[in-house]
Chain A
Amino acid sequence: MNRLSYLIGRLVKGVFVILAIGVLAFLVIRLVPGDPVAVIAGKSGAVDAEYMDNLRQKLGLDQPLVVQLGIFLKGLVQGDLGQSYRQGAPVSAIILERLPATLLLTLSASAISILLGVLAGAMAARRRGTWADSAIGTLALLFYATPLFWMGLMAILLFSLVLGWFPAFGMVSADMRYEGIRHVLDVLHHLIMPMTILGLFYMAVYARLTRASMLEVSEMDFVRTARAKGLPESYITRRHILRNALLPIITFAGIQAGHLIGGTVLIETVFGWPGIGRLAFDSLLQRDYPVLLGIFIVTSAMVVIFNILTDLLYTLVDPRIEVNK
């Protein structure tokens, strides 16, 4: 019951956070110079003033900013994100169409980065000062410091152009019309490169975090006690050190999950992945305010949800933490 009421409280707070982000995002977007009607008109060749006025009226851009904000918030409360200026379609449909691609990429990249990162970090911590520790540390630094888009381009050159192992762009082979299991394999074939590049970057972070956290925990009294009791080292590492060292990792994973949704613009661009990171970028260039706002709302909702999940996960990993505190 405790957990349920806590959850409801957090969700209510989350709704207000999202509304506040909505207002802020609305105002910030309008601070950026650029008029959507001018962008549309600029691409069309000759345009007369009457045409532009009509268009402005159609899009509701002739209203005072406060009225526009009111219309946006009213829609938001009712779950209506409005219509795209450019595509004329509902924003929610546009975002929903692109969200699965981003989730597939980010969740799979997260999974391998957490799995491999924690393993590598644990190994480095256990073999502190050995060549394995140095190798892991150096590689982690390398992956962390190299710009993602550059790694992506180099991977395309090597694995697509030279070796021909993986496709250079996209999520499906559009000209092949695969169905069923062939389609799934086709998507996986396209997924491997962007997932790995994105995963390597975060893997580096997890490895460093895990190593530092484990070394800190392994100095603590209860670990010394466990060793004194004569427990096997691998058991101590697994049950005592790693479990206690996981808390900062979970915290980071929670923050990063929200960040990943919006933070994949570069990878999505380099690999032509049809996700919402790129949708956001395109919408910004086109001054498609409703789509841009919709993406802000969806992304912030994700962050709120992941934060709640993180907090719940704490209580599972560490029974000393109670939800209502």
Chain B
Amino acid sequence: MKLLKIVAALALTAQIANAAEPTEGGTLRLIAQPEPPMLMLGLNQQGPTQFVAGKIYEGLLRYGTDMSVLPGLAQSWTVSEDGLVYTFELQNDVVWHDGEPFSSKDVVFSLSKFLPEVHPRARGVMGHVKDITAKGANTVSIELNAPFPAFLQSFEVSSAPIVPAHIYEGTDYRSNAANETPIGTGPFKFDEWQRGSFIRLVKNDQYWQDGKPYLDEIVFNVVPDAASRAVAFETGKVDVLRGGDVEYFDVQRLAALPDAETTNAGWEFLSPITWIQFNLRNEPMNDVRFRKAVWHAIDREFIANAIWMGFADPADGPLPASSPFYKENLPAADYNPDKSRALLDEMGLTPDENGVRTTVRYLSLPYSETYIRMGEYIRQQLREIGIELEVTQTDVGGWAQSLGQWDYDMTVNLLYQYGDPALGVERAYVSSNLVKGSPSANVSGLDNPKIDKVLSEAGTATSTDERMKLYAEFQQTVVDEAYFGYLVRVNFPTVYKTKVRNLVGSAIGLNDTMADVWIAE
């Protein structure tokens, strides 16, 4: 018995030692799904591109899982008291993958020329900038037109990747031949890409963080079928499954494998939320009573537990619960079909002989089986209260076009919130973003001067208390008016082999550099 205890203690000590001391070497085998169209992160920010290229390129800053600001290519930063001037001190001894030295020139070029031309999100953020100047080789100073506190949340690698000026300056960025062999400053260098098969990155021996990265190689396998991806993990051909790689009904089974672990961390920056999107231009969606009727017909607990298999929480409003601006105790959208019926009665929408009060079009979002099931559930629930959905089936391309052309009545959408509400949330609510043609603009047709004003003030207020007050007002208004049918906040699960350590270390999770990841053999 005593011996057993000693053995157990030894094993525990070994485990602790193991956890504390990373070992070098090894290949991490991942899945890139779907295959990214390119790896030049400045030109393409699709999810898979961020995942792969996030190891090649770096941003000025990183963000912890608590959304704290961490050093990236900038080792320190200061913000002037009036909130107008941001000064970044860059890391020393950084070199590009082709051996050229990195300097403030690259940062100025990326932020003032490259990104505003080709990067849709950075374009918006850099619109706040009055002037960017290099103060010596290692310092960059950015002056804003007006205070914009979300600015410090805008430098994560996919939001503002720093690209090499010596390769791109004076060229046509999109057709530059170097896009095929991306050159960054990150811990891993591009090695080989056999399209349709795999992408391989290798260790950057000249990485500016001494002793890192630990891994020799990262291989991203292209495995187009979800069932095959599950088998690939089970047979040990890949080490990690990202959220969405396998259907949620498979996750629990795979997570229960003896050598597997699961985490929900690493989605704090994007904090995805799903909602029912109404086209507020059309009847009867323009009536708050109709929208509330839809709210009360849907059981969010059911969606979270039975459709997302527990990898989601019911959403009660527009902001993630992890946001510092999240307002607690918003009026709950309780599941109560009787309330729905009463509201529809009040509108004068009475049932015909088949029990149908009204018919609206529903544009199905075909991201995965889970979204299709969610659509089926919503249809079934609304039929209960007499709203008949006429479902349009299409693929993601068709869905995006219908949404961008405002040619829909109701659909389900997934929104990434990009850290600060001024960056990711505002775009869906303000009238200045009523842009036809873009599925990610304000497509619902929401045009409320009160919301415009509150969001504009909240975006520029320098005091956090003031911002909290304004965002609280915003949350109250949109929930009262039920402009969107908030469904669930998704906690995408990452399933990985126990031997993989330090996998998730920041708010962008698997999209981060992976400089700290190591494999315990």
Residues on A close to B: CB < 8 A?
32-39, 41-49, 51-52, 58, 84, 86-89, 94, 97-98, 101, 153, 156-157, 160-161, 164, 167-172, 174-175, 268-275, 278-279, 282, 284-287
**Beyond A88-B175, A286-B37, is A275–B196 a contact (Cβ under 8 Å)?**
yes
**Interchain nearest-CB distance for A105 vs B (Å):** 12
A sample of 11 inter-chain contacts (CB < 8 A) reads A33-B401, A45-B418, A47-B120, A97-B195, A101-B196, A169-B229, A170-B223, A272-B228, A274-B195, A285-B34, A286-B397
From A42, A87, A273, A287, give the contact of B404 (CB < 8 A). Answer: A42
Select the stretch in B275-283, B303-311, B325-333, B432-440 that faces chain A. Answer: B432-440
**Interchain nearest-CB distance for A170 vs B (Å):** 6
Q: Kindly count the residue-residue contacts between A and B in the assembled complex, taking CB atoms under 8 Å apart.
A: 189
**Beyond A47-B120, A170-B221, is A270–B228 a contact (Cβ under 8 Å)?**
yes
Q: Are the C-beta atoms of A38 and B197 separated by less than 8 Å?
A: no
**Interchain nearest-CB distance for A198 vs B (Å):** 15
Q: Are the C-beta atoms of A38 and B437 separated by less than 8 Å?
A: yes
Asked if B124 is at the interface (CB within 8 A of a chain A CB), the reply is: yes
Compute how far the CA of A34 lies from the CA of B397 in the bound complex, rounded to whole angstroms: 5
**Interchain nearest-CB distance for A18 vs B (Å):** 25
Asked if B441 is at the interface (CB within 8 A of a chain A CB), the reply is: yes
Measured between beta carbons, the chain A residues less than 8 angstroms from B441 are: 46-47
Measured between beta carbons, the chain B residues less than 8 angstroms from A88 are: 38, 43, 174-175, 179
Measured between beta carbons, the chain B residues less than 8 angstroms from A38 are: 397, 400-401, 404, 437-439
**Sample of 7 further A-B pairs with CB below 8 A, known A86-B37, A175-B217:** A35-B400, A41-B120, A46-B120, A171-B197, A172-B198, A174-B221, A270-B228
Compute how far the CA of A164 lies from the CA of B232 in the bound complex, rounded to whole angstroms: 11
Compute how far the CA of A42 lies from the CA of B69 in the bound complex, rounded to whole angstroms: 28
Closest chain A residue, CB of each to CB of B195 = A97
Compute how far the CA of A268 lies from the CA of B435 in the bound complex, rounded to whole angstroms: 39
Q: Are the C-beta atoms of B197 and A274 separated by less than 8 Å?
A: yes
- Residues of B within 8 Å of A, CB-based: how many? 63
Compute how far the CA of A78 lies from the CA of B372 in the bound complex, rounded to whole angstroms: 45
From B194, B402, B437, give the contact of A274 (CB < 8 A). Answer: B194
Closest chain A residue, CB of each to CB of B121 = A45
Q: Are the C-beta atoms of B37 and A33 separated by less than 8 Å?
A: no
Compute how far the CA of A286 lies from the CA of B223 in the bound complex, rounded to whole angstroms: 17
Closest chain A residue, CB of each to CB of B175 = A88
**Interchain nearest-CB distance for B227 vs A (Å):** 6
Asked if B501 is at the interface (CB within 8 A of a chain A CB), the reply is: no
Compute how far the CA of A86 lies from the CA of B43 in the bound complex, rounded to whole angstroms: 10
Compute how far the CA of A272 lies from the CA of B47 in the bound complex, rounded to whole angstroms: 20
From B38, B219, B401, give the contact of A86 (CB < 8 A). Answer: B38
Compute how far the CA of A156 lies from the CA of B418 in the bound complex, rounded to whole angstroms: 39
From B123, B197, B231, B394, give the contact of A33 (CB < 8 A). Answer: B394
**Interchain nearest-CB distance for B387 vs A (Å):** 25
**Interchain nearest-CB distance for B196 vs A (Å):** 3
From A34, A156, A169, give the contact of B221 (CB < 8 A). Answer: A169
Closest chain A residue, CB of each to CB of B222 = A272
Compute how far the CA of A316 lies from the CA of B293 in the bound complex, rounded to whole angstroms: 75
| Interface residues in B387-416 (C-beta closer than 8 Å to A) | 394-398, 400-404, 416
Compute how far the CA of A84 lies from the CA of B175 in the bound complex, rounded to whole angstroms: 11
Q: Are the C-beta atoms of A170 and B197 separated by less than 8 Å?
A: yes
From A49, A101, A175, A279, give the contact of B435 (CB < 8 A). Answer: A49
Measured between beta carbons, the chain B residues less than 8 angstroms from A52 are: 435, 437-438
Compute how far the CA of A46 lies from the CA of B121 in the bound complex, rounded to whole angstroms: 5
Compute how far the CA of A120 lies from the CA of B286 in the bound complex, rounded to whole angstroms: 67
From B124, B223, B440, give the contact of A272 (CB < 8 A). Answer: B223
**Beyond A171-B197, A174-B221, is A33–B29 a contact (Cβ under 8 Å)?**
no
Q: Are the C-beta atoms of A169 and B174 separated by less than 8 Å?
A: no
From A33, A47, A270, A271, give the contact of B440 (CB < 8 A). Answer: A47
Asked if B224 is at the interface (CB within 8 A of a chain A CB), the reply is: yes
Compute how far the CA of A41 lies from the CA of B444 in the bound complex, rounded to whole angstroms: 17
**Interchain nearest-CB distance for B428 vs A (Å):** 9
Closest chain B residue, CB of each to CB of A173 = B237
Compute how far the CA of A42 lies from the CA of B402 in the bound complex, rounded to whole angstroms: 11
Measured between beta carbons, the chain B residues less than 8 angstroms from A168 are: 228, 231-232, 235, 237
Closest chain A residue, CB of each to CB of B35 = A282
From A42, A86, A87, A169, give the contact of B228 (CB < 8 A). Answer: A169
Q: Are the C-beta atoms of A47 and B228 separated by less than 8 Å?
A: no
Measured between beta carbons, the chain B residues less than 8 angstroms from A271 are: 228
Compute how far the CA of A213 lies from the CA of B94 in the bound complex, rounded to whole angstroms: 73
Q: Are the C-beta atoms of A44 and B395 separated by less than 8 Å?
A: no
Compute how far the CA of A270 lies from the CA of B427 in the bound complex, rounded to whole angstroms: 38
| Interface residues in B210-249 (C-beta closer than 8 Å to A) | 217, 219, 221-225, 227-229, 231-232, 234-235, 237
| Interface residues in B146-181 (C-beta closer than 8 Å to A) | 174-175, 179-180
**Beyond A45-B45, A169-B221, is A156–B231 a contact (Cβ under 8 Å)?**
yes
**Interchain nearest-CB distance for A50 vs B (Å):** 9
Q: Are the C-beta atoms of A34 and B398 separated by less than 8 Å?
A: yes
Interface centre among A38, A48, A51 (most CB of B within 10 A): A38
Measured between beta carbons, the chain B residues less than 8 angstroms from A45 are: 45, 120-121, 416, 418, 424, 427, 440
Asked if B200 is at the interface (CB within 8 A of a chain A CB), the reply is: yes
Compute how far the CA of A170 lies from the CA of B224 in the bound complex, rounded to whole angstroms: 10
Measured between beta carbons, the chain A residues less than 8 angstroms from B200 are: 174
**Beyond A169-B237, A271-B228, is A34–B219 a contact (Cβ under 8 Å)?**
no
Measured between beta carbons, the chain B residues less than 8 angstroms from A167 are: 237
**Beyond A38-B404, A156-B231, is A278–B224 a contact (Cβ under 8 Å)?**
yes
Measured between beta carbons, the chain B residues less than 8 angstroms from A275 are: 196
Interface centre among B121, B427, B440 (most CB of A within 10 A): B440
Closest 7 pairs between A and B when the two form their complex, measured CB to CB: A274-B196, A34-B397, A174-B198, A86-B37, A42-B400, A42-B439, A274-B197
Compute how far the CA of A167 lies from the CA of B29 in the bound complex, rounded to whole angstroms: 14
Closest chain B residue, CB of each to CB of A279 = B196
Asked if B477 is at the interface (CB within 8 A of a chain A CB), the reply is: no
Measured between beta carbons, the chain A residues less than 8 angstroms from B119 are: 44
Compute how far the CA of A83 lies from the CA of B400 in the bound complex, rounded to whole angstroms: 23
**Interchain nearest-CB distance for A215 vs B (Å):** 40
Closest chain A residue, CB of each to CB of B179 = A88
| Interface residues in B3-59 (C-beta closer than 8 Å to A) | 27, 29, 34-35, 37-38, 43-47
Measured between beta carbons, the chain B residues less than 8 angstroms from A287 are: 397
Measured between beta carbons, the chain A residues less than 8 angstroms from B217 are: 175
Measured between beta carbons, the chain A residues less than 8 angstroms from B223 are: 169-170, 272
B423-461 interface mask toward A, CB cutoff 8 Å, 1 = contact, 0 = none? 010010000010111111100000000000000000000
